Amino acid sequence: MTKSFQEVLKDRRSIRKFEGKPVKDEDLEQIIEAARLAPSGTNRQPWRFVLLKTEAEKARVAGSIIQPFVLEAPAVFICCLDKKAYTKGMVEKRMDELVQSNVISEEAAGYISQFKMPDKPEDVKIPPDAYIDLGIAVQQMALMAEALGLGSCWVRLINPGQIHEQLNLPDELKVVAVLPVGYPAQSPPPRPRLERDEIVVQL
Ligand SMILES: Cc1cc2nc3c(=O)[nH]c(=O)nc-3n(C[C@H](O)[C@H](O)[C@H](O)COP(=O)(O)O)c2cc1C
């Protein structure tokens, strides 16, 4: 039975125990597609993902992931930011696309262009917007997993530098989070949430 969007939001939990059953490749593709469709500042799409599926692939990051449940999941996404997305050439390319399709004006593009942007990825200092963009993409993946009857868990309790080294990733990638995905072997109750009036600030 297909879940409504409201049900997907309400039912999603962080899953920390997975069945051994592998996730279908077409489901993993749908999860990647959910990230691909995410919105991002100036459409920069800075997210990149490494998918670990085999025991040998997962063994490469052993010791860098503090919680053992992560590598017990049949699929593990290593979620990264790409510094190339913030080089002058790439930002201008994305802005041109937006100007061409009348999404932003020449003036708005000019405003963005006045900020100093490095030519080379090694000179890029990753801006805070990048983490917002990656966060949106990863959460879209988590919601898609839920919609497909799968479970996932955001994980930041990792050693990103060591993962980068163990996977021999290119210099321009920065590891930010990990998202294990699999069939849930637990159904946790909802975690506490603040009340509506605690999150809406009255003027
Ligand atoms: C950015 C982020 C980082 C997180 N890092 C971890 C983590 O390293 N390990 C973990 O077990 N859970 C982690 N979580 C899951 C949270 O603990 C969880 O979302 C929160 O307790 C609410 O529970 P729920 O997701 O089941 O609603 C993280 C969640 C987010 C959004």
Q: Please say whether the beta carbons of 77 and 51 come within 8 A.
A: yes
Cα of 87 vs centre of ligand 1, distance in Å, is 31
CA of 44 to the centre of ligand 1 (A): 26
Residue nearest to atom 12 of ligand 1 (CA): 155
Question: Given the structure tokens 């939001």, which residue do they identify?
Answer: 9
pLDDT of residue 110: 85
Distance 153 CA to ligand 1 centre (A): 6
Going by alpha carbons, the residue nearest to atom 18 of ligand 1 is 14
> Whole-model pTM?
0.96
**How many helices and strands (H and E) does the chain possess?**
9, 4
Residue pair 51/76 in contact (Cβ under 8 Å)? The answer is: yes
Q: Which residues of 124-147 are buried (b: 16+ CB within 10 A; e: fewer)?
A: bebeeebeebbbbbbbbbbbbbbb
Closest CA to 163 of 87, 58, 14: 58
Q: How far is the CA of 11 from the centre of ligand 1 (A)?
A: 15
Mean pLDDT of the chain, nearest integer: 96
Mean pLDDT of 76-104: 94
pLDDT at 115: 82
Residue 191 is predicted with a pLDDT of 97
Model confidence at 66, pLDDT cuts 50, 70, 90, reads very high
pLDDT in tens, 108-131: 888 888 888 899 999 999 999 999
| Number of other residues whose CB lies within 10 A of the CB of residue 99 | 16
Ligand 1 atom at minimal distance to the Cα of residue 156 = 8
**Architecture of the CATH domain 5-83+121-185:** 3-Layer(aba) Sandwich (3.40)
pLDDT digits (tens, 9 = 90+) for 21-59: 999 999 999 999 999 999 999 999 999 999 999 999 999
Pocket around ligand 1 at a 6 A CB cut-off: 13-14, 16, 67, 153-157, 191
Task: Decide the pairing of beta strands 47-52 and 75-82.
Answer: antiparallel
How many whole angstroms separate alpha carbon 168 and alpha carbon 175?
12
| H or E stretch at 164 | helix 160-166
Indicate which atom in ligand 1 lies nearest the CA of residue 157.
8
Kindly provide the residue ranges of all beta strands, DSSP E only, lying in the chain, ordered along the sequence: 47-52, 75-82, 151-152, 173-182
Query: What's CA 113's distance to the chain center, in Å?
Result: 27
